[in-house]
């Protein structure tokens, strides 16, 4: 069986549990509890894409301002301002009042930078925009087709609350090629962060939960350890 062309995330441990990285052009939903590291993972994916693999990236924020995102990145000493000046990275805020405007903005920015990586954060905002689920699914399907056409490996974030996922109108089941779950759960007297790959089209995946460390250099996945081994 031919091996897919892969996009390496550059996140320590992530490519190991994905057996080499994410198949190119996959659309991946990053679902997680509040504080689980979704934004950190997405920024690290884009930043490493530029500095390690020479792959420009686009970050579409549907909520926070570009300055807020840049400020968060600087906590990890990621010099995203320089990358933006060099037109290797774009961080923009899009108000989701018009879904076609969102699609056009994505396509324009990807074309302008020659981007190979894309983040849309937070995807759960889609639920606030659409009144009818059928309309939402049609639009999100069209977004998925567009992302395939422009050949970007994309992350869309989704928030899990009270152990239940806020559905992106079936995006996880019907459109997404992959779903990565980030957990921030209380175990006895402390909080534990972990990651699991629910599915990923085109590649073998680890079927275990692995511990996460968030350091001053970003996220590190302890790929050789299982969650409950680590917390003993």
Q: What is the pLDDT of residues 78-88, one digit of tens each?
A: 999 999 999 99
> What's the CA dihedral at 197, 202, 203, 207 to 10 degrees?
30
* Predicted local confidence at residue 161, as pLDDT: 58
The DSSP secondary-structure symbol of 223 reads T
Q: What is the pLDDT of residues 83-102, one digit of tens each?
A: 999 999 999 998 767 788 88
Q: What is the pLDDT of residues 219-231, one digit of tens each?
A: 999 999 876 554 4
CB atoms within 10 A of CB 193: 21
Domain segments of the chain: what residues? Answer: 6-230
CATH of domain 6-230: 3.40.50.300
* Predicted local confidence at residue 194, as pLDDT: 92
Percent above pLDDT 70 for the chain:
88
* Predicted local confidence at residue 215, as pLDDT: 93
* Predicted local confidence at residue 143, as pLDDT: 84
* Predicted local confidence at residue 162, as pLDDT: 46
Of 140, 172, 144, the residue nearest 158 (C-alpha):
172
* Predicted local confidence at residue 6, as pLDDT: 95
For the chain, give the mean pLDDT.
Answer: 87
Distance CA 132, CA 127 (A): 9
Give strand pairing partners of 221: 212
Q: What is the pLDDT of residues 112-166, one digit of tens each?
A: 999 999 999 987 777 666 777 777 777 778 888 898 899 999 999 988 754 455 5
What's the whole-number mean pLDDT along residues 171-199? 82
* Predicted local confidence at residue 38, as pLDDT: 93
Residue 69, pLDDT > 60, answer: yes
CB atoms within 10 A of CB 163: 8
What's the whole-number mean pLDDT along residues 14-38? 92
* Predicted local confidence at residue 163, as pLDDT: 46
The DSSP secondary-structure symbol of 21 reads S
């Amino acid at each position: 069986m031919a091996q897919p062309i892969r996009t390496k995330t550059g996140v320590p441990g992530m490519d190991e549990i994905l057996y080499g990285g994410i198949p190119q052009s996959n659309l991946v939903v990053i679902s997680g509890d509040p504080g689980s590291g979704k934004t950190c993972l997405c920024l690290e994916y884009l930043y490493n894409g530029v500095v390690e693999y020479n792959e420009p990236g686009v970050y579409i924020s549907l909520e926070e301002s570009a300055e807020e995102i840049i400020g968060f990145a600087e906590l990890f000493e990621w010099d995203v301002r320089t990358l933006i000046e060099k037109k290797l990275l774009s961080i923009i805020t899009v108000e989701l009042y018009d879904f076609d405007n969102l699609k056009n903005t994505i396509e324009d920015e990807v074309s302008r930078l020659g981007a190979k990586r894309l983040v849309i954060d937070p995807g759960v905002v889609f639920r606030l925009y659409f009144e009818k689920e059928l309309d939402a699914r049609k639009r999100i399907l069209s977004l998925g087709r567009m992302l395939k056409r422009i050949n970007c490996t994309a992350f869309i974030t989704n928030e899990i609350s009270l152990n239940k996922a806020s559905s992106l109108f079936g995006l996880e089941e019907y459109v997404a090629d992959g779903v990565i779950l980030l957990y921030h759960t209380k175990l006895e007297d402390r909080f534990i962060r972990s990651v699991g790959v629910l599915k990923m089209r085109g590649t073998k995946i680890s079927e275990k939960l692995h511990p996460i460390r968030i350091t001053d250099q970003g996220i590190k996945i302890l790929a050789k350890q299982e969650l409950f081994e680590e917390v003993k």
